[in-house]
Amino acid sequence: MSESISRALAGRVRKRAGDVCEYCHLPQSSQEARFHLDHILPQSAGGRTTGSNLALACVTCSLKKAKRIRVPDPETGDSVPIFHPRRDRWADHFEWARGWRLVGRTPTGRATVSALGMNRPAVVAIRGLLGELGLLVEDDDKG
C-alpha cells in the first residue's frame, strides 16, 4: 500500500535537490513533466515515505529505476547497488564527459548510467543547450 507524500515533505525534497534530478542532474525547469518523488528503497522492499528515503527524479530516471536497488555493471556484469542519493556522493560515482555525457567512475556509477539511460540522446541535447545558455554548469559536487 502506498503512503501519500505531504506537500511539506514534497517541498523539502524538491528544495534539497535544487529542483534537479538527483540521478541524471536534469533540471526540472527544462522539462514539462513534473519530476517524481522516488522511493530510493522501494516501498515493496520496506522503504518508508520519509525525507531520507525520497529523491527527486526526472520521469525517465524514476520509471527506469522502478523498484530496482541493484543493477548490472555493464563492464563486469556483476550486480551492484544502484546510486543512492542519500548515502552516496554524486561526484564519487559520476563525472561529466565531453558533450554533456555522464560517465560512471565506479561500478555503481557505470551501472546507474546504463540502467537509467542517463545519456539518452534527448537528455544530452537538453544538457548541451542549457550549457550553451549558461544555465547548466558541470557541478559534479551537487549531492
How confident is the model over 5-61, as pLDDT tens digits? 999 999 999 999 999 999 999 999 999 999 999 999 999 999 999 999 999 999 999
Classify residue 2: in a domain, yes or no.
Answer: no
73 contacts 99 by C-beta, under 8 angstroms:
no
- Segment 92-117 mean pLDDT: 96
Render pLDDT for 106-142 as a digit per residue (tens, 0 to 9).
Answer: 999 999 999 999 999 999 999 999 989 988 766 544 4
Render pLDDT for 52-86 as a digit per residue (tens, 0 to 9).
Answer: 999 999 999 999 999 999 999 999 999 999 999 99
Confidence check: pLDDT of 2 > 90: no
Domain holding 72, by residue range, is 7-132
Classify residue 112: in a domain, yes or no.
Answer: yes
Classify residue 141: in a domain, yes or no.
Answer: no
Classify residue 83: in a domain, yes or no.
Answer: yes
CA distance 66 to 73: 17
Domain count, the chain: 1
